Structures are given as C-alpha cells and as structure tokens.
C-alpha cells in the first residue's frame, strides 16, 4: 500500500515511522523548504513515550530530555506550593517515562531515524495544492506542477489544515480567548533553585516552566485571557517589557525566570480551536492530530494524542482489508478518548484561571490517560 502523509510535524513524522516499520511504502510531503532548530518545549507523558520507544527513539529521547522529579503547582503571588505531582516514578508505574524536551530535539530525532530506516521518505519543499479521489486512489497535485498518486492520504497538516477545510469542514479556526507567550532561558543565567518544574497560576493567568535539552535551557509558557486576537500571523515576537508587565503580579522567582529569555526574545500567539468533527475520513483521505482534533495545551496531551493517532491508524490499516474499514476502526478507537481529552484540557484551563487553591487542581492527578497503550491496547473502543 502506497501512503502519502501531508505534514512533517510530530504527528506526520510519527505516522511515517510507524507505517514504515509496519512495511508500508510511505512519502512525507512537507511544504517548508527546511526544518530547523526552532520552537520551544514539549511534554511527553508515558502514553506518548511508550509509542516512541516502540519506534526506536528511546536512546535519542534519553540523550536530550529531562525527567523532572516532580512538578509543583504554586500560588501565583506568593509562590507557595499548593500541590506536588511526582513524576520520577512514572516509568515504574506506567511502563514508560515522563519527559520534557525541546520540540526540535524530538523532531530532529524523528527525521534522523526516518532517514536511517527509510531513506528518501521525507520530501521538503513539497506543497500539495490539490487532492482528487478516484479509481481506488487519490491524485495529489503539487505547487510545482507534479502529479502523484497514493492509495491513502494522511492529512497531518495541523490546526490550519487546508485539507480539513476543503474536504471536511470549511469553518476556519476560532480564537479561544487565550493568548500565550513562550521563551527559553539559559539555565547558566539562573540560580539553581529556579531550575525546578513549576506551574504558577491565579488571577486569570498561569506560567508553566520546566527544563529541556539536558537541563541546558529552561522553557516557559505563559497564558492569559483576551477578548480577541487581532495580530496578523499566528506567532509573533512580543516586546519583553509588555510581557513582563502582564505578569508583574507573580512571585519574585517566577518574574526572575521570565525576565531572562535568550537574546531577550519572547514569542506570542493566540490559542485557536475548531469545532469537533464526528468524521475524520473521506474516502481514502484521513485526518490526524491537530488537523482532526486541535486541543488546548493545558493538559499537555496535544502532541501525545497525535502520536497515539499515528500508532492506532497504522495498526488499523494492518488489521483491515480496505482503507475505508481501517478509517472506521480508527475513528471508533480514537474518537471517544480524544474527545474526552479535549474537554478535559478546556476544563483544566478554566481551573488554572480561577482561584489558586487545592480545589482548582482537582482532576490534575495523572490517571487513565497515562496508562493508555496505543502500541498493543484493544482497537475499536
């Protein structure tokens, strides 16, 4: 079976690794002409790392990631610890580790692994402008005039998915009322006691910080409510003084961390969502990850769910005789879990923006989502 994957992000690359491991002929089409060291931190809970270890990425992850002993939830103004979530024992509890790492380190490990196991799979500067189903295949038309065919097309082109808008639902992404800022801090510029993993929240705002890249960098993400997002573009540079003023009521330690980003750079973006889709496939075309089900970041499960999607979709294509039947099985397996996670992420965001106390953190304890096994768990829901 010949499979075309549109999008070279985490979801698309995980799909490529899983499907090439399963013996499918795969091509990944990424519109960007180059992929470089950019972005910021990412959390990988055991449900995600279980899949990545299965795909042979364990040594690469261990070489670049950080497993924090715990994450502390703190009062935004006083810095007092409200709750502590222990993470160092998650490997023993769930059979896979909890990791924090730089997004590019993960993406680079995937690209390297794919080049080693299936050379030529990833095509950069390959922009798909048209999909035409017919005769048991899908014809792909490219911006440079090329035309190719595939038995299956996996659209992993993110929340701004043009394939979703063209074939499934023309409604554009909707601003959710949250704005986020991110930055990276060289840990050499911070006192040791500020290296811990912590979430400070309250007053309609929260700041999450944690180590990445072997502890050499500290990533922070700050979120606040806004009525609208009018900036052109999705991610834009933000003036440091404006950002610091927004979070000036936070405790001294948190303010110290966010005041020292590398090269003074802080980036700002609006958090967008899309209406829930009941069907993620159309003929031999199927959506995956944010293209199918964008999720607010408050659960730390957006990338994890794309990784799970990739593994489950691969198993469904192995288990069923036709792509259409495989997609139906994929939908039955993933739909309820992803919808529950999407709703839980929204609820957690509301809690973070409320009063900073133990009641607002109820439901933050890890549970079934971390034990989920996309590698060998049952298919079909």
Q: Which residues are catalytic?
A: 210
Picking from 103, 48, 106, the residue whose alpha carbon sits closest to that of residue 372 is: 48
Say if residues 276 and 339 touch (Cβ distance below 8 Å).
Answer: yes
Q: How far is CA 137 from the centre of its chain?
A: 30
Q: Write the CA distances from 313 to 133, 167, 380, integer angstroms.
A: 20, 19, 11
CA–CA gap between residue 282 and residue 315 (Å, rounded)? 19
The residue count of the chain comes to 381
CA–CA gap between residue 327 and residue 188 (Å, rounded)? 49
Do β-strands 235-238 and 266-273 pair in parallel, antiparallel, or remain unpaired?
Answer: antiparallel
- Token readout for 207 is 């700041």
Three-state SS for 201?
A: strand
CA–CA gap between residue 158 and residue 138 (Å, rounded)? 20
Say if residues 204 and 166 touch (Cβ distance below 8 Å).
Answer: no
- Token readout for 63 is 């070489």
- Token readout for 342 is 């999407």
H-only helix segments in the chain:
10-21, 46-54, 58-64, 90-94, 103-117, 162-163, 240-246, 252-258, 302-319, 323-352, 368-371
């Amino acid at each position: 079976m010949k499979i075309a994957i549109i999008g070279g992000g985490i979801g698309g690359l995980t799909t490529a690794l899983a499907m090439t491991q399963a013996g499918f002929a795969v091509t990944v089409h990424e519109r960007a002409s180059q992929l470089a060291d950019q972005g910021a931190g990412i959390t990988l809970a055991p449900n995600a790392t279980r899949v990545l270890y299965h795909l042979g990425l364990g040594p690469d992850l261990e070489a670049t990631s950080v497993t924090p002993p715990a994450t502390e939830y703190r009062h935004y103004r006083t810095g007092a610890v409200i709750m502590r979530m222990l993470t160092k024992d998650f490997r023993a509890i769930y059979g896979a580790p909890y990791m924090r790492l730089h997004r590019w380190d993960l993406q680079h490990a995937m690209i390297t692994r794919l080049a080693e196991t299936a050379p030529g799979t990833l095509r950069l500067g390959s922009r798909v402008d048209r999909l035409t189903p017919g005769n048991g295949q899908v014809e792909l038309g490219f911006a440079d005039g090329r035309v190719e065919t595939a038995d299956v097309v996996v659209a992993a082109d993110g929340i701004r998915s043009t394939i979703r808008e063209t074939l499934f639902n023309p409604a554009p992404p909707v601003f959710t009322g949250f704005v986020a800022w991110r930055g990276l801090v060289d840990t050499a510029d911070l006192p040791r006691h500020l290296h811990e993993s912590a979430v400070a929240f309250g007053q309609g705002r929260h700041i999450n910080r944690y180590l990445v890249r072997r502890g050499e960098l500290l990533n922070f993400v700050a979120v606040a409510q806004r009525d609208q997002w009018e900036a052109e573009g999705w991610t834009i540079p933000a003036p440091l003084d404006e950002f610091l003023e927004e979070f000036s009521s936070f405790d001294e330690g948190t303010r110290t961390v966010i005041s020292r980003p590398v090269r003074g750079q802080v980036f700002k973006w609006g958090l967008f969502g899309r209406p829930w889709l009941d069907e993620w496939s159309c003929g031999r075309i199927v959506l995956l990850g944010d293209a199918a089900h964008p999720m607010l970041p408050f659960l730390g499960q957006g990338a994890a769910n794309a990784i799970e999607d990739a593994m489950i979709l691969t198993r469904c294509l192995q288990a069923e005789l036709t792509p259409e039947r495989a997609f139906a099985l994929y939908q039955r397996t993933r739909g309820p879990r992803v919808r529950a996670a999407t709703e839980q992420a929204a609820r957690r965001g509301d809690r973070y923006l409320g009063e900073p106390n133990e009641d607002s953190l109820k439901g933050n304890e890890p549970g079934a989502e971390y034990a989920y096994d996309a590698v060998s768990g049952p298919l079909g829901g």
